[in-house]
Structure 1
Amino acid sequence: MIAAGRGEGGAPRPFPWREVMAFGLGVLRLGPDAFWRLTPRELAAAVEGFAGPAAAPAPPGRAELAALMRAFPDG
């Protein structure tokens, strides 16, 4: 299903926007406005509700979040 996290060699994988939008707009049949207003937690709950708890990825750990914040700083 929708996978994020680390790829081969531990390099971060890009966020799977295409798969996420296909799921939200195509499978869940959300309108664009409703889809873009979802929080990541709400989207994860929708994935889990549709495919079961094993399909929902674990949230990033502290180190992964810090790495993402360095790679994609605000401002």
Structure 2
Amino acid sequence: MTSTNLITANRKDLNAKTARFEHRHFATIARIIRDMPARGADQLNIARHFARELCVTNPRFQASRFLAACGVED
């Protein structure tokens, strides 16, 4: 992708107010949460917060699948 195309793509994301996240992004975030030293309620609250925010980035986002990947019970 050329720098001009990249700038245009970034402008489209800014205009949309949210970036379009994909499975690879969700998987990376879930892995980070899963590997956190915090456990229990703190980890669950963090995972839930991310799930609420990430659901607007992709209409196919599944919160239950994300929470399972984070290693937390909901």
Structure whose residues are more often helix by fraction: 2
Structure ID, larger Rg: 2
Higher relative contact order (CA 8 A, sep 6+): 2
